């Protein structure tokens, strides 16, 4: 379940404000009588894993929509035509909220759906599908939530919770060994992951005592060699050059994680619609 905190409320309010820079929804004001009430249905237009129902509800409430009923839960698998939720209340308010609610829901559902495909691709192996920090600015909490709904696991959220030694850190420190020692000296209790792009670096990382190593852009043959060299001394994470087509082969090599940036930076939106199904016009003469 998603915790709706102040950060998320501010994010939703900012998204709503983007539609209200000019002050009003001119189309709805011109075409919909004041006081009209409607029921609108969120409907899946494609198969996928739903995410963002609670965000859609929050958007509706922040726009003044009185009623919202969730008929499915985040993480549910949907078929085309499945009813997800209904919103009821002032018609103008529903249409004000429509695009923002759908933007969140379709985007997050796309991430959950793509993640589930990757998870299915490696089913039966020990490998877990893991996300990255390649997230949309401002949306990291929600996007990583969607990854979990799809069956994936999260890498670090922030730069402070875990160290990850990459090529630029190695270049600036003079060597992988220097970089690792510096982190251990400054932050002795923090988890350290080391990125390596060849087998010599892998051996150096193991010699430092690294227990989590990222294999950067290693082909399958080199990955298999890396697993043999490591021999269980560290957890291994494959990163780069991965696809749904080759994911299973990499997973079967014996690595522990597949790091997939595409989960958050390239997931196609899931097709979901919001359709007005019933309206109650105000009494004659109202505007």
- The catalytic site residues sit at 99, 134, 166, 195, 216
Q: What's the CA gap between 270 and 256, in Å, rounded?
A: 29
Buried b (16+ CB within 10 A) or exposed e, 7-42: ebeebbeebbeeeeeeeebeebeeebeeebbbbbbb
C-alpha count within 13 angstroms, C-beta hemisphere, residue 197: 9
Q: What is the DSSP string of 21-78?
A: TTSS-HHHHHHS-TT-EEEEEEEESS-EE---HHHHHHHHHHTT--EEEESS-TT-EE
User: Which runs of consecutive H residues, i.e. helices, occur in the chain?
Assistant: 6-18, 26-31, 53-62, 91-121, 140-149, 167-173, 176-186, 199-208, 220-230, 247-252, 262-265
In the block, tokens 């010599």 appear at: 200
Q: What's the CA gap between 256 and 234, in Å, rounded?
A: 9
The Cβ of residue 226 has, within 10 Å, a number of other Cβ atoms equal to 23
Q: What's the CA gap between 31 and 227, in Å, rounded?
A: 65
SS3 246: coil
């Amino acid at each position: 379940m998603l915790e709706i905190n102040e950060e998320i409320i501010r994010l939703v309010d900012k998204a709503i404000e983007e539609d209200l820079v000019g002050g009003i929804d001119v189309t709805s004001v011109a075409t919909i009588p004041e006081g009209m009430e409607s029921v609108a249905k969120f409907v899946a237009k494609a198969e996928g894993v739903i995410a963002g129902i609670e965000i859609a509800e929050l958007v509706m409430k922040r726009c003044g929509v009185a009623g919202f009923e969730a008929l499915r839960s985040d993480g549910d698998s949907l078929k085309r035509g499945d009813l997800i939720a209904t919103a009821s209340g002032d018609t103008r308010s529903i249409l004000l909220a429509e695009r923002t609610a759908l933007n969140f829901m379709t985007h997050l559902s796309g991430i959950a759906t793509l993640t589930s495909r990757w998870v299915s691709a490696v089913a039966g192996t020990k490998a877990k599908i893991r996300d990255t920090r390649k997230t949309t600015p401002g949306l990291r909490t929600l996007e990583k939530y969607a990854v979990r709904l799809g069956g994936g696991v999260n890498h670090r959220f922030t730069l402070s919770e875990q160290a990850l030694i990459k090529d630029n850190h190695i270049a600036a420190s003079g060597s992988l060994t220097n970089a690792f020692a510096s982190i251990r000296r400054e932050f002795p209790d923090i988890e350290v992951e080391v990125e390596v792009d060849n087998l010599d670096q892998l051996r150096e990382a193991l010699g430092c005592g690294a227990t989590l190593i990222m294999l950067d852009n290693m082909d399958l043959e080199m990955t298999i060699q890396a697993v043999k060299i490591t021999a269980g001394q560290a957890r291994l994470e494959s990163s780069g050059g991965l696809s749904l087509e080759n994911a299973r082969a990499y997973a079967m090599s014996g690595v522990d994680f597949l790091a997939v940036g595409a989960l958050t930076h390239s997931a196609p939106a899931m097709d979901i619609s919001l359709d007005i199904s019933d309206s109650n016009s105000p009494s004659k003469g109202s505007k």
